[in-house]
């Protein structure tokens, strides 16, 4: 059974909104979007239930528009589900659950199937994971949030994989994905959607040289500003000290955070 | 500055690549994920020198998810040899490996990175361990075992090397260098004081932010696309064309996405294996493949090590150096030498002798790391500091006695001394203890700027009919902010607004090739190309402005009837009459953008598109002649506090003064100065690869134990740029008189920190990094 996450949406679903959201969520080949285009015009009320799927490399976005409702429903699921007991593969979670209950007995809970739910940048994801995956692996390698960098340390050495988990800056290479069930994650992509002043401050202060570490710095800085909106230069340096920058543009980061602080 | 520009040298222009980097949307090589992509990993050599006695891959092959395994004796690998270059030494057929961390000719291709790791762990190998050598001094001994990879390679193309490089030496020799002028023995007799010291400088590891990766994708039309983390796309194209002569360069495309810090060539002749194996796997599976290197395996790139450099300096009491001889032993390769460049270009020392031996050791091959002048700049800095100390002179004053006192150099020193307040702070060595108990020290050094680095490139400019401008060509953004500089120069030359110019990143090598040889020559070369291309485009635009304008259904009169192109100019994206600036018209109106409602039919003729080919631009190759004096200089000043009980050094202030000829992108210049200085902080104080002498294994190949600077490690850095240099026909600058900045401070500043430490303590430490252990030893405390 695929869980449906419903959101109130007073604007209904337009073709433009759909395509914009789909492109934002998953970069990949759009399959089936023409179905929606054929059935529903800009601002029209949907007259029949339509399910549309956008398939990316590692995940599938399904949008269901229900007839007669001005409701946008969104479920972000995977394209392949694997039985953790016998390794058999299924096209949907419902099929896997049915298989698990029939073959292995008992109700298949999320924990049984290694399925977690987590909110990423305001959208809810339902994903099957391997128990040994780090949050960084899930975010970057599976769900393709490419802002979540890594300097291949996997030991919390560099800070480039920093994200906000329930508002706190954490190193995603040091968290197992399975520990993040139910948590709310924000990445630099999400911060950009907010148009947070840190983004412009970083651009205007010419902080990035190679730029690989920049999203990690920005997310750490966001965590600081959330708990201390008016930090001093020393407080900023202390907060960002765990983030490495091989190009070493450190002083410009401090100025950028000060500038962002004054714009909050 | 001799000219007033509209865009060039002005502050406030937006960092072209700032937004994608800040939002995390910039795609780096490791971020690339293609449909149906497979993953690959190379086996990392676990010994310092060994050969495979037996290998069993059956368990790895049987692992579910493993797609293919390739190794040195497989049929697919036979016959693959480069047409040229030292890459032959790193053949894909060998089963003998020469340093810990080397990527062996054994690679796994699988459905995931994790399966690759597991498969590699299942490969059973019996190694025959062979003798290894960690120091050039050991490698030099007559009875030393051979650790050189292929003794015949160094003699393969002697005609391609300068005459002063001797590659005929036997044993572990890579080569030897020798330069001389004057009579050093006579010079020593003329001296009042003779100084003899021995310098050393550790290997410097790239340790870039982004670990290495390569993706190869063979398209339906047999085009091979390489996604690669490298500075120079064309160099890679040529390298792999060399390995695969049957692969036409026209079907070999290099896509260079954003690069997380390269600081030097990576996938060069010394490191072709991951890319070669990726290509072989892609050919075999017909699927895209990504080969990844982890952090441990990425400690592959480093600069050469001055193991010892015996100096003998003759100096008179007035500070004039009468003779200098240096005899250096370096573990490494051609990428880095002590060299004679600085001495011949920048000094008037009358008697000089330099000898340098480069030996193979059981460590990763040497390549230039921001930059190949590291050792030379350190050597240069130490000689002047030692000479000044020997005769009790202020080191900023000894310059006058030993150079031709170029205005640029004198201005750099004057400016820096004022900023750091040198005259009131300077003191003799070890004479100033602060109230906090620490010792205060000041350091100074100087060198030329790296002018005259001009290579070939090509590029294009398109003035779109709506007035926006597109820069065409392949360029890598690896940290020196090249796109902003090129956009600024394009806007200046064309007379358009900065915000109207666009430089899309990640164009591939099917387009023009900016920056033909990579980092060291980037701004210099690109400035020549963009200026030439934009001038061509502007000429066409002004010609169009005086011609009848062909629209879809009508012919409009010329925008400027009765005028010639010479009567016109462009400013703020408006074409105007020079003698009557109020007579003006926008570029879209000249290119009849609005009058053509059917763009599909007319878009081609409306736009103006030009290109500049390699070799079309002015060249400055003659500036490489080491006998031509430099015209641009730099000077650096450091202030430190040293705890004589712990040996801890606190760098409280550094002042960088660089004469960059003509500033193009001021904020970019300053961030390069500051970033380079902070990189230099690590080189001066903490960066030191540690090898286990018993096993030859690199012990600190991670970001905790290989320590580079962090946010709070360095005090105030004051970057200052000047525009002084002696402009002339062959002054060594690029277009508009620019001189690059990206390599300077990282290369020169380490020595100034060491000079300041010696000034603080009255010590004579001549070894980088200057660690607490070395300091306490020098003080006799351990």
Under the banding of pLDDT at 50, 70 and 90, the label for residue B525 is confident
Q: In chain B, which residues have their Cβ closer than 8 Å to the Cβ of A29?
A: 35
**Comparing A22 with B61, which gets the higher pLDDT?**
B61
Under the banding of pLDDT at 50, 70 and 90, the label for residue B635 is very high
In terms of Cα–Cα distance, which of B462, B466, B484 is closest to B475?
A: B484
The pLDDT score that the predictor gives to residue A17 is 34
The answer to whether the CB atoms of B675 and A237 lie below 8 A apart is: no
How close is the nearest chain B Cα to the Cα of A187, in Å? 9
What average pLDDT score do residues A205-226 get?
Answer: 97
Under the banding of pLDDT at 50, 70 and 90, the label for residue B605 is low
Under the banding of pLDDT at 50, 70 and 90, the label for residue A107 is confident
How close is the nearest chain B Cα to the Cα of A208, in Å? 6
Q: In chain A, which residues have their Cβ closer than 8 Å to the Cβ of B712?
A: 237-238, 241
* B615 pLDDT higher than 80: no
Q: How far apart are CA B777 and CA A100, in angstroms?
A: 69
Average the pLDDT over each of A36-40, B44-48, B502-506, B510-514 and give the range with the smallest value: A36-40
Q: Is A72 in CB contact (< 8 Å) with chain B?
A: no
Q: In chain B, which residues have their Cβ closer than 8 Å to the Cβ of A238?
A: 712
The structure tokens listed for B506 are 């990640």
Q: In chain A, which residues have their Cβ closer than 8 Å to the Cβ of B701?
A: none
The answer to whether the CB atoms of A189 and B210 lie below 8 A apart is: no
* pLDDT 10s digits, A144-193: 999 999 998 878 999 999 999 999 999 999 999 999 999 999 999 999 99
Mean predicted lDDT score pLDDT of chain A: 77
Which among B23, B37, B209 is the nearest to A213, CB-wise? B209
Taking residue B529's Cβ as centre, other Cβ atoms within 10 Å add up to 32
Average the pLDDT over each of B156-165, B432-441, B570-579 and give the range with the smallest value: B156-165
* pLDDT 10s digits, A242-262: 999 999 999 999 999 999 999
The pLDDT score that the predictor gives to residue A233 is 97
Find how far residue A35's CA is from the centre of its chain: 26
Burial class (CB in 10 A: 0-12, 13-18, 19+), B150: middle
The answer to whether residues B312 and B142 touch, using CB atoms and an 8 Å cutoff, is: no
Under the banding of pLDDT at 50, 70 and 90, the label for residue B169 is confident
Torsion, Cα A68 A74 A80 A81, to 10 degrees, reads: -100
Most B CBs within 10 A among A210, A221, A237, hence the mutation to make, goes to A210
In terms of Cα–Cα distance, which of B713, B717, B760, B762 is closest to B438?
A: B760
* pLDDT 10s digits, B328-350: 999 877 667 888 788 988 999 99
What average pLDDT score do residues B464-488 get?
Answer: 88
* B595 pLDDT higher than 70: no
The pLDDT score that the predictor gives to residue B452 is 64
What average pLDDT score do residues B539-550 get?
Answer: 94
Report the predicted TM-score, pTM, of the whole model to 2 decimal places. Answer: 0.91
Taking residue A15's Cβ as centre, other Cβ atoms within 10 Å add up to 16
Q: Which helix or strand (DSSP H or E) is residue A120 part of?
A: strand A115-120
* B596 pLDDT higher than 50: yes
Q: How far apart are CA B364 and CA B335, in angstroms?
A: 13
Average the pLDDT over each of B316-320, B348-352, B450-454 and give the range with the smallest value: B450-454
Q: How far apart are the first and last CA of chain A?
A: 43
* A44 pLDDT higher than 50: no
Q: In chain A, which residues have their Cβ closer than 8 Å to the Cβ of B674?
A: 248-249, 251-252
Task: Tell me whether the omega of the peptide bond preceding residue A192 falls within 30 degrees of 0, making it cis.
Answer: no
Percent residues over pLDDT 90 in chain B: 68
The pLDDT score that the predictor gives to residue A64 is 46
Taking residue B539's Cβ as centre, other Cβ atoms within 10 Å add up to 13
Q: Which helix or strand (DSSP H or E) is residue B258 part of?
A: none
Under the banding of pLDDT at 50, 70 and 90, the label for residue A11 is very low
> What is residue B185's three-state secondary structure?
helix
The pLDDT score that the predictor gives to residue B156 is 57
* A109 pLDDT higher than 90: no
* A13 pLDDT higher than 70: no
Q: In chain A, which residues have their Cβ closer than 8 Å to the Cβ of B33?
A: 57-58, 141, 144
The answer to whether residues B353 and B310 touch, using CB atoms and an 8 Å cutoff, is: no
What average pLDDT score do residues B689-716 get?
Answer: 95
Find how far residue B668's CA is from the centre of its chain: 16
Mean predicted lDDT score pLDDT of chain B: 90
Residue labelled with tokens 């010792």: B439
* pLDDT 10s digits, B84-124: 555 456 788 999 999 999 999 999 999 999 999 999 999 99
Q: Is A168 in CB contact (< 8 Å) with chain B?
A: no
> CA-based Rg of chain B, rounded to a whole angstrom?
28
The pLDDT score that the predictor gives to residue B347 is 95
Q: Is A55 in CB contact (< 8 Å) with chain B?
A: no
The answer to whether residues B68 and B285 touch, using CB atoms and an 8 Å cutoff, is: yes
What average pLDDT score do residues B153-171 get?
Answer: 69
**Comparing A107 with B511, which gets the higher pLDDT?**
A107
In terms of Cα–Cα distance, which of B573, B389, B553, B575 is closest to B468?
A: B573
* B556 pLDDT higher than 80: yes
What average pLDDT score do residues A113-130 get?
Answer: 93
**Comparing B769 with A91, which gets the higher pLDDT?**
B769
Q: Is B477 in CB contact (< 8 Å) with chain A?
A: yes
Task: Tell me whether the omega of the peptide bond preceding residue B348 falls within 30 degrees of 0, making it cis.
Answer: no
Q: What angle do CA B625, B630, B632 make, to 5 degrees?
A: 140
In terms of Cα–Cα distance, which of B208, B747, B735, B118 is closest to B447?
A: B747
* A7 pLDDT higher than 50: no
* B53 pLDDT higher than 80: yes
* pLDDT 10s digits, B569-579: 999 999 999 99
What average pLDDT score do residues B181-209 get?
Answer: 96
Non-local CB neighbours of B171 within 8 Å, separated by 6+ positions: B139, B140, B142, B144, B146, B148
Average the pLDDT over each of A33-37, A249-253, B356-360 and give the range with the smallest value: A33-37
Taking residue B82's Cβ as centre, other Cβ atoms within 10 Å add up to 21
Q: Which of residues 110-149 of B touch A (CB under 8 A)?
A: 113
Q: Is A29 in CB contact (< 8 Å) with chain B?
A: yes
The answer to whether the CB atoms of B18 and A155 lie below 8 A apart is: no
Q: In chain B, which residues have their Cβ closer than 8 Å to the Cβ of A248?
A: 674-679, 681, 708-709
**Comparing B146 with A77, which gets the higher pLDDT?**
B146
The answer to whether the CB atoms of A212 and B23 lie below 8 A apart is: no
Which among A148, A149, A241 is the nearest to B710, CB-wise? A241
* pLDDT 10s digits, B189-202: 999 999 999 999 99
Write the ipTM: 0.95
* B652 pLDDT higher than 80: yes
Under the banding of pLDDT at 50, 70 and 90, the label for residue B720 is very high
The pLDDT score that the predictor gives to residue B618 is 64
Task: Tell me whether the omega of the peptide bond preceding residue B769 falls within 30 degrees of 0, making it cis.
Answer: yes
The pLDDT score that the predictor gives to residue A212 is 97
Average the pLDDT over each of A39-43, A132-136, B415-419, B758-762 and give the range with the smallest value: A39-43
Q: How far apart are CA B428 and CA B479, in angstroms?
A: 39
Under the banding of pLDDT at 50, 70 and 90, the label for residue A14 is very low
* pLDDT 10s digits, A181-204: 999 999 999 999 999 999 999 999
Which among B258, B681, B711 is the nearest to A237, CB-wise? B711
What average pLDDT score do residues B155-165 get?
Answer: 64
The pLDDT score that the predictor gives to residue B653 is 98
* pLDDT 10s digits, B365-399: 888 888 888 999 999 999 999 999 999 999 999 99
The pLDDT score that the predictor gives to residue B600 is 52
Average the pLDDT over each of A201-210, B287-296, B414-423, B500-509 and give the range with the smallest value: B500-509
How close is the nearest chain A Cα to the Cα of B295, in Å? 5
Residue of B nearest to A209 (CA): B479
Q: In chain B, which residues have their Cβ closer than 8 Å to the Cβ of A215?
A: 21-24
**Comparing B425 with B301, which gets the higher pLDDT?**
B425
The structure tokens listed for B6 are 């509209």
Q: In chain A, which residues have their Cβ closer than 8 Å to the Cβ of B703?
A: 151, 153, 157-158, 244
What average pLDDT score do residues B600-624 get?
Answer: 68
Taking residue B659's Cβ as centre, other Cβ atoms within 10 Å add up to 27
* B543 pLDDT higher than 50: yes
Residue of B nearest to A133 (CA): B114
């Amino acid at each position: 059974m695929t869980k449906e996450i419903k959101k109130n949406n007073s604007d209904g679903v337009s073709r433009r909104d759909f395509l914009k959201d789909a492109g934002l969520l998953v970069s990949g080949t759009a399959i089936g979007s023409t179905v929606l285009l054929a059935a529903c015009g800009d601002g029209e009320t949907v007259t029949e239930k339509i399910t549309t799927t956008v398939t990316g490399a590692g995940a599938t976005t399904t949008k269901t528009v229900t007839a007669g409702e001005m409701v946008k429903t969104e479920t972000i699921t995977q394209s392949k589900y694997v039985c953790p007991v016998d390794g058999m593969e299924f096209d949907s979670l419902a099929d896997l659950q049915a298989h698990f209950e029939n073959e292995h007995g008992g109700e298949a809970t999320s924990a049984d199937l290694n399925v977690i739910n987590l909110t990423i940048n305001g959208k809810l994801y339902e994903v099957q994971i391997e128990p040994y995956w780090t949050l960084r692996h899930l975010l970057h390698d599976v769900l393709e949030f490419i802002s979540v960098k890594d300097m291949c340390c996997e030991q919390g050495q560099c800070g480039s994989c920093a994200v906000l988990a329930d508002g706190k800056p954490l190193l995603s290479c040091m968290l197992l994905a399975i520990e993040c069930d139910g948590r709310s994650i924000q990445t630099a992509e999400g911060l950009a959607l907010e148009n947070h002043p840190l983004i412009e401050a970083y651009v205007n202060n010419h902080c990035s040289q190679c730029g690989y570490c920049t999203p990690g710095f920005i997310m750490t800085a966001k965590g600081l500003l959330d708990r201390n909106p008016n930090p001093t230069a020393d407080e900023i340096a202390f907060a960002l000290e765990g983030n490495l920058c091989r190009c070493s543009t450190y002083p410009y980061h401090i100025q950028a955070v000060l500038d962002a602080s004054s714009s909050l | 500055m001799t000219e007033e520009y509209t865009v060039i040298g002005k502050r406030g222009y937006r960092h072209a690549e700032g937004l994608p980097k800040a939002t995390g949307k910039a795609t780096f090589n490791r971020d690339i994920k293609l449909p149906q992509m497979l993953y690959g990993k190379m086996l990392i050599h676990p010994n310092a020198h060994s050969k495979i006695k037996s290998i069993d891959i059956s368990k790895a092959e049987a692992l579910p998810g493993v797609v293919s395994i390739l190794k040195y004796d497989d049929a697919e690998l036979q016959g693959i040899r480069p047409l040229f270059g030292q890459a032959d030494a790193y053949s894909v057929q060998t089963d003998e490996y020469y340093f810990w961390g080397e990527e062996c000719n054994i690679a796994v291709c699988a459905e995931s990175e994790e399966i690759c790791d597991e498969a590699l762990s299942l490969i059973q190998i019996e190694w025959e361990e062979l003798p290894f050598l960690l120091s050039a001094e050991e490698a030099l001994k007559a009875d030393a075992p051979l650790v050189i990879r292929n003794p015949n390679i160094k003699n393969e193309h002697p005609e391609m090397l300068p005459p002063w490089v001797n590659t005929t030496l036997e044993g572990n020799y890579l080569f030897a260098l020798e330069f001389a002028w004057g009579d050093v023995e006579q010079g020593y007799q003329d001296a009042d004081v003779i100084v003899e010291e021995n310098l050393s400088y550790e290997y410097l590891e790239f340790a870039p932010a982004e670990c290495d990766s390569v993706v190869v994708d063979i398209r339906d039309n047999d085009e091979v696309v390489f996604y690669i983390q490298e500075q120079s796309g064309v160099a890679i194209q040529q390298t792999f064309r060399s390995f695969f002569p049957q692969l036409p360069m026209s079907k070999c495309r290099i896509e260079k996405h954003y690069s997380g810090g390269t600081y030097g060539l990576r996938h060069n002749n010394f490191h072709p294996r991951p890319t070669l194996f990726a290509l072989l796997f892609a050919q075999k599976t017909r699927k895209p493949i990504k080969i990844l290197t982890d952090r441990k395996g990425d400690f592959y790139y480093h600069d050469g090590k001055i193991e010892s450099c015996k100096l003998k300096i003759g100096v008179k009491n007035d500070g004039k150096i009468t003779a200098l001889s240096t005899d250096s032993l370096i573990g490494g390769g051609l990428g880095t030498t002590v060299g004679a460049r600085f001495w011949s270009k920048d000094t008037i020392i009358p008697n000089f002798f330099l000898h340098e031996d480069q030996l193979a050791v059981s460590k990763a091959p040497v390549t230039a790391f921001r930059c190949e002048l590291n050792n030379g700049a350190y050597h240069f800095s130490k000689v002047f500091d030692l000479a000044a100390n020997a005769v009790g002179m202020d080191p900023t004053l000894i310059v006058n006695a030993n150079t031709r006192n170029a205005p640029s150099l004198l201005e750099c020193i004057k400016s820096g001394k004022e900023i750091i307040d040198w005259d009131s702070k300077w003191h003799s060595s070890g004479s100033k203890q602060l109230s906090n108990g620490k010792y205060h020290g000041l350091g100074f050094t100087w060198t030329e700027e790296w002018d005259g680095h001009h290579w070939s490139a090509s590029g294009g400019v398109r003035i779109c009919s709506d007035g926006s401008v597109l820069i065409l060509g392949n360029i890598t953004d690896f940290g020196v902010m090249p796109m902003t500089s090129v956009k600024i120069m394009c806007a200046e030359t064309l007379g358009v607004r900065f915000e109207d110019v666009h430089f899309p990143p990640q164009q591939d090598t099917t387009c023009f090739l900016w920056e033909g040889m990579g980092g060291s020559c980037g701004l210099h070369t690109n400035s020549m190309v963009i200026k030439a291309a934009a001038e061509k485009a502007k000429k066409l635009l002004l010609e169009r402005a005086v011609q009848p304008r062909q629209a879809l259904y009508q012919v409009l009169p010329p925008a400027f009837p009765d005028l010639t192109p010479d009567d016109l100019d462009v400013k703020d994206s408006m074409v105007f009459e020079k003698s009557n600036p109020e007579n003006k018209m926008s570029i879209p109106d000249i290119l009849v953008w609005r009058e053509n409602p059917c763009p599909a039919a007319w878009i081609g003729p409306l736009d103006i598109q030009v290109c500049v080919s390699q070799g079309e631009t002015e060249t400055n190759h003659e500036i490489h002649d080491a006998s031509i004096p430099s015209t641009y200089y730099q000077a650096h000043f450091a202030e430190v506090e040293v705890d004589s009980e712990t040996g801890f050094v606190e760098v409280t202030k550094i002042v960088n003064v660089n004469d960059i000829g003509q500033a193009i992108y001021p904020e970019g210049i300053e961030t390069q100065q500051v970033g380079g200085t902070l990189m230099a902080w690590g080189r001066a104080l903490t960066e030191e690869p540690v090898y286990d002498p018993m096993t030859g294994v690199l012990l600190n190949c991670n970001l905790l134990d290989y320590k580079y600077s962090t946010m709070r490690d360095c005090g105030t850095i004051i970057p200052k740029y000047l525009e002084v240099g002696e402009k002339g026909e062959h002054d060594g600058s690029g277009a508009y008189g620019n001189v690059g900045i990206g390599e300077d401070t990282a290369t020169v500043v380490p020595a100034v920190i060491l000079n300041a430490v010696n000034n603080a303590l009255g010590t004579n430490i001549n070894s980088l990094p200057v660690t607490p252990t070395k300091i306490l030893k020098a003080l006799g405390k351990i």
